[in-house]
Amino acid sequence: MPPEMPLECAPHTLLRIAGAHALIAPQEPPLWVGASIRRAPWVVMRRAEVRSGLMPVGVRGESRGERLAAWVDGATILETVTPCELTRRRTWQSSSRQHVVPALSALDAVHDIMSCRGFADAWGPTGSVGFELASGCATATVASDLDLALWTAQLPGIDLARSLLAALESLPVRGDVLLETPRGALALAEYAYGDRRVLLRTASGPLLVDRDDEGFVRGKTVAA
The residue among 73, 19, 25 whose CA lies nearest residue 41 is 19
Pick the catalytic residue: 108, 112, 121, 145?
145
Beta pairing class for 146-151 and 175-181: parallel
Pick the catalytic residue: 73, 112, 147, 212?
147
CA 197 – CA 200 distance, rounded (Å): 9
Question: Is 147 a residue of the active site?
Answer: yes
Side-chain half-sphere CA neighbours of 171 within 13 A: 25
CA 141 to each of CA 87, 110, 176: distance values in angstroms, whole numbers, following the listed order: 20, 18, 16
The residue among 54, 60, 8, 72 whose CA lies nearest residue 30 is 60
Handedness of CA 91, 93, 96, 102 (dihedral sign): positive
Torsion angle, CA of 91/97/102/104, rounded to 10 degrees?
-10
CA 204 – CA 13 distance, rounded (Å): 18
The residue among 205, 171, 86 whose CA lies nearest residue 136 is 86
Question: Is 213 a residue of the active site?
Answer: no
| Catalytic center residues | 145, 147
